A and B are shown apart, each in its own frame.
Chain A
């Protein structure tokens, strides 16, 4: 079953009477329930606009976005849409609402009108999912960036969404923080069956997804399993993107006449291919 369905979706920002930015142009997509989808694209390619269309933060100018069959255009059911699609943004400091961690996590379910006993349960569940239960009574302001983003994820999953959208949620983190956040996202996908849509500039993160969508100038230009997308390195370069570093090395070795194959994705594969040759 598809969790989200986009049909011929377009969205433009009107800056002035003469200036219109066509951010998303006639995009049709289906996101399968339970899948882990990465979206990459250059700055201004429309990927963040696309993310905001997924839970009705933006409403398409043309076309329809359906979340589990519900049209995001319908004002009467918009809360149903937002409940199902939770979003985590880039800046960890902009997503905290309370000075005590458990209050921060309770904010979402409280607003959904969840009963008190269940809120208590959900707070503990959400915090343990992201490995932050021990910080429950603490304050968010003293945490590292990675911890804050995991907290932001906990705040979202406490509302029990079926889809989690990470909009460049690792961009401001150090390598350790990035790894923590990605691990949590993959665990939620595998253990809880949550659909995860991860928008990122890191090709190494995109590599871990089941499916990789490449956007350029508001359109979906590539859509396949990551290995096959990264095999199209020339096209990616045209879209101002790159491939993982290990793949770059493999491509250069191929160019020099050392055939390791251009489909190498990570260091393990590169080492494996190189061993018999050296």
Chain B
């Protein structure tokens, strides 16, 4: 188990007219290898929650265990925050706004330097991180971050986090504000990072069609509490409740619902667009006596298919 959260509560501006209870008794266990999606509308407490996980917000009530580090409201013993932050890497919304160094190299090196590593180790990590996010090390290391495109800046910002080799990587709205191809690049980067860098990944997203493409577990925050915590495919059993909370459900489910309402029989377990297409093909074959092969359905229905090509190459095209 990577992270265990017990009875976590948090109140902003306590004892003032602006008092807001952001978290009300949150319990959650995050396991090693989870590809966890967190959804919830604005103000549901999800950002407050993740800021606890690397000690940006001090625990007021309840407790959190991150690997072997305990976070409580006790003044002593002080938790080893440096160690905590090397374990849990956090990529904020619009992380490119936080680039500040003169060169890409220095910016990515900032984190590892603060971990007190040797110069050689820092060099290795910076090089590895920059290449991992799909940028050519030699070409970009001496560039000023401000000369880069929006998508490139975001990748440099992510490189700065993964250079610390976190065991858990948290990304808050990682695709916000990017164009469709930029979004696809970041999504395939995240998948790549799960394999090559951080085995546990937590992503906050408002885009339910996007998050269902990669998360294997979904946690829904509502009114400061964990409303649902389900394997990705199971969550939408609660679709009625999700809609009542003002959350979106995947388009594939909406289409399946409408088809079913018109008397068309489709299989269960439709969540993603690929699921829907599979069931449509099966129903079509049955009715028309055709033999269309479901395995011919492409995983990514129509997008910038990076899967066949070397990812580094695709990025370098920019």
Query: Chain A's nearest CB lies how many Å from the CB of B254?
Result: 6
Question: Is A256 touching B296 in the complex (CB atoms < 8 A)?
Answer: yes
A41-B179, A42-B181, A201-B177 as given contacts; A252 in contact with B298, CB under 8 Å: yes
Question: Is B179 touching A253 in the complex (CB atoms < 8 A)?
Answer: no
* Cα of A58 to Cα of B244 in the assembled complex, Å: 45
A43-B151, A175-B248 as given contacts; A245 in contact with B177, CB under 8 Å: no
Task: Say which one of B49-57, B69-77, B279-287 lies at the interface with A.
Answer: B279-287
A145-B42, A274-B280, A278-B259 as given contacts; A258 in contact with B177, CB under 8 Å: no
Contact of A271 among B255, B281, B283 (CB under 8 A): B255
Select from chain A the residue with minimum beta-carbon distance to B250: A245
Question: Is B178 touching A248 in the complex (CB atoms < 8 A)?
Answer: no
Question: Is B41 touching A278 in the complex (CB atoms < 8 A)?
Answer: no
Question: Is B264 touching A248 in the complex (CB atoms < 8 A)?
Answer: no
Question: Is A256 touching B41 in the complex (CB atoms < 8 A)?
Answer: no
In the complex, which residues of chain A have a beta carbon less than 8 angstroms from the beta carbon of B280? 253, 258, 274, 278
Summarize A's interface: helix, strand, loop or mixed.
helix
Contact of A43 among B150, B246, B248 (CB under 8 A): B150
Query: Chain B's nearest CB lies how many Å from the CB of A218?
Result: 14
Question: Is B258 touching A271 in the complex (CB atoms < 8 A)?
Answer: yes
- The size class of the interface chain B forms with chain A is 35 or more
* Cα of A241 to Cα of B251 in the assembled complex, Å: 19
Question: Is A203 touching B150 in the complex (CB atoms < 8 A)?
Answer: no
Question: Is B277 touching A253 in the complex (CB atoms < 8 A)?
Answer: yes
In the complex, which residues of chain A have a beta carbon less than 8 angstroms from the beta carbon of B147? 15
* Cα of A270 to Cα of B42 in the assembled complex, Å: 31
Which of B18, B182, B248, B251 gathers most chain A CB within 10 Å? Answer: B251
Query: Chain B's nearest CB lies how many Å from the CB of A47?
Result: 10
The answer to whether the Cβ of B131 comes within 8 Å of any Cβ in the partner chain is: no
* Cα of A278 to Cα of B41 in the assembled complex, Å: 36
* Cα of A90 to Cα of B147 in the assembled complex, Å: 21
Question: Is B302 touching A248 in the complex (CB atoms < 8 A)?
Answer: yes
Question: Is B246 touching A176 in the complex (CB atoms < 8 A)?
Answer: yes
Query: Chain A's nearest CB lies how many Å from the CB of B61?
Result: 24
Question: Is A242 touching B303 in the complex (CB atoms < 8 A)?
Answer: yes
Contact of B149 among A43, A174, A247 (CB under 8 A): A43
* Cα of A251 to Cα of B301 in the assembled complex, Å: 8
In the complex, which residues of chain B have a beta carbon less than 8 angstroms from the beta carbon of A246? 251, 255
The answer to whether the Cβ of B209 comes within 8 Å of any Cβ in the partner chain is: yes
Query: Chain B's nearest CB lies how many Å from the CB of A137?
Result: 15
Q: Which of B181-224 contact A (CB under 8 A)?
A: 181-182, 206-207, 209
* Cα of A176 to Cα of B248 in the assembled complex, Å: 9
Task: Give the total of A residues in contact with B, Cβ under 8 Å.
Answer: 45
A246-B255, A252-B277, A256-B281 as given contacts; A44 in contact with B42, CB under 8 Å: no
The answer to whether the Cβ of B99 comes within 8 Å of any Cβ in the partner chain is: no
A176-B246, A243-B302, A256-B281 as given contacts; A201 in contact with B255, CB under 8 Å: no
In the complex, which residues of chain A have a beta carbon less than 8 angstroms from the beta carbon of B181? 42, 240-242
The answer to whether the Cβ of A249 comes within 8 Å of any Cβ in the partner chain is: yes
* Cα of A252 to Cα of B296 in the assembled complex, Å: 10
Which of B259, B298, B301 gathers most chain A CB within 10 Å? Answer: B301
The answer to whether the Cβ of A112 comes within 8 Å of any Cβ in the partner chain is: no
Q: Which of B238-271 contact A (CB under 8 A)?
A: 246, 248, 251-252, 254-255, 258-259, 262, 264
* Cα of A277 to Cα of B282 in the assembled complex, Å: 12
Query: Chain B's nearest CB lies how many Å from the CB of A206?
Result: 11
The answer to whether the Cβ of B115 comes within 8 Å of any Cβ in the partner chain is: no
* Cα of A100 to Cα of B209 in the assembled complex, Å: 38
In the complex, which residues of chain A have a beta carbon less than 8 angstroms from the beta carbon of B255? 246, 249, 267, 270-271
In the complex, which residues of chain A have a beta carbon less than 8 angstroms from the beta carbon of B259? 271, 274-275, 278
Question: Is A201 touching B302 in the complex (CB atoms < 8 A)?
Answer: no
In the complex, which residues of chain B have a beta carbon less than 8 angstroms from the beta carbon of A142? 18
In the complex, which residues of chain B have a beta carbon less than 8 angstroms from the beta carbon of A278? 259, 264, 280, 283-284, 287
8 shortest interchain CB distances as A-B pairs: A240-B181, A248-B302, A242-B180, A42-B179, A248-B301, A171-B177, A174-B206, A271-B258
Report A's interface with B, CB cutoff 8 A: 15, 41-45, 90, 142, 144-146, 168, 171-172, 174-177, 201, 203, 233, 237, 240-243, 245-249, 251-253, 256-258, 267-268, 270-271, 274-275, 277-278
A to B CB contacts below 8 Å, 13 in the list: A43-B178, A176-B246, A241-B181, A242-B303, A243-B302, A245-B251, A246-B255, A249-B301, A252-B298, A256-B296, A257-B290, A277-B284, A278-B284
Report B's interface with A, CB cutoff 8 A: 18, 41-43, 93, 147, 149-151, 176-182, 206-207, 209, 246, 248, 251-252, 254-255, 258-259, 262, 264, 273, 276-277, 280-281, 283-284, 287-288, 290, 292, 296-298, 301-304
